[in-house]
């Protein structure tokens, strides 16, 4: 998205380096992300939105060939570049491949280390570094392709997953639980859009132990009552205390604890089926350590 933008390729480089150096990568199976089809994107997005993103991509390609920089400003934070379309297709495609592999039993669970992120993308709108809502596409695909009756989303990004709520709020077979710093971008989530939404606003500088208590009191009973057949995780790590994108005070041990909680629910109700996908996290070292903690639990290390 241009020089000095926080949503940059260095994020994935830091994750890969950390998993290699720590030895965690040795215990993982690794797959390249395929491109999602337009049909799959339209499970969560309007045809007009998908077409608009494709149209902007074609315009950027023409501009690049004409000697321009091939970038288009979506909003003050979000810029579409000459490679955005293909990257966004693969980011959503990773979640779809992971869903297929987990549902088939080839994998117990999966973590999708991809960008761009997705949880701010609404059914008809790109925003907040996000173009397509990777997790919502995965949820709708799981519901349609595998005829699941109960699919849950867990979102622990520092920002409210407004796009996921926008897409899933009227879907009775989905449940979303999350927490987010409030007041904060995107200035939503305080009032739920549907009865299947449990997104908890918490103030800046809330510590990890307080977040854990909130999860025990609110998330866990709701997830247990819902009995999800599959769980998707919007894994944003910008609630880390070292990440200056937000002002929450979580650390790696908190992400370990949250991941274990989700795995416990999945083991009881969903045959362990989890697909997690990267959202935020913009300080490379803190992001990499947090992802390592998350993946260690998923991999049983």
15-46: string of b/e by CB count within 10 Å (b at 16+)?
Answer: beebbeeeebeeeeeeeebebbeeebbbbbbe
34-38 own/partner pairs: CB under 8 Å, 24+ apart? 34/90, 34/93, 34/94, 34/96, 34/97, 35/86, 35/89, 35/90, 35/93, 36/89, 36/90, 36/92, 36/93, 36/96, 36/132, 36/137
Beta strands (DSSP E) in the chain are 72-73, 79-80, 109-112, 151-155, 174-181, 197-202, 230-235, 274-278
Catalytic residue among 45, 119, 120, 159: 120
- Is 120 among the residues known to form the active site? yes
| Dihedral sign, Cα of residue 45, residue 46, residue 50, residue 53 | negative
Active site positions, annotated: 120
């Amino acid at each position: 998205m241009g020089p000095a933008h926080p949503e940059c390729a260095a994020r994935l480089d830091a994750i890969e380096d950390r998993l290699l150096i720590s030895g965690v990568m040795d215990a993982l199976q690794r797959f390249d992300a395929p491109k999602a089809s337009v049909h799959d994107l339209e499970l969560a997005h309007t045809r007009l939105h998908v077409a608009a993103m494709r149209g902007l991509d074609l315009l950027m390609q023409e501009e690049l060939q004409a000697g321009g920089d091939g970038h288009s400003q979506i909003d003050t934070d979000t810029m579409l570049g000459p490679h955005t379309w293909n990257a966004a297709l693969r980011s959503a495609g990773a979640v779809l491949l992971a869903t297929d592999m987990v549902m088939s039993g080839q994998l117990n669970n999966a973590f999708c280390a991809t960008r761009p992120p997705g949880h701010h993308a609404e059914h008809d709108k790109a925003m907040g570094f996000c173009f397509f809502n990777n997790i919502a596409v995965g949820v709708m695909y799981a519901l349609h392709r595998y005829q699941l009756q109960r699919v849950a989303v867990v979102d622990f990004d520092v920002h409210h997953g407004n796009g996921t709520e926008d897409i899933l709020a009227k879907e009775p077979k989905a449940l979303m639980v999350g927490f987010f710093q409030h007041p904060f971008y995107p200035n939503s989530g305080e009032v739920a859009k549907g009865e299947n939404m449990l997104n908890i606003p918490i103030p800046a500088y809330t510590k990890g132990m307080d977040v854990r208590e909130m999860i025990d009191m609110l998330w866990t009973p709701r997830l247990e009552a819902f009995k999800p057949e599959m769980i998707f995780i919007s894994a944003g790590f910008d609630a880390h205390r070292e990440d200056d994108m937000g002002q929450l005070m979580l650390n790696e041990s908190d992400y370990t604890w949250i991941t274990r909680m989700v795995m416990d629910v999945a083991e009881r109700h969903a045959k362990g089926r989890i697909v997690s996908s990267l959202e935020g996290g913009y300080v490379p070292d803190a992001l990499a350590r947090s992802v390592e903690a998350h993946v260690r639990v998923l991999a049983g290390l």
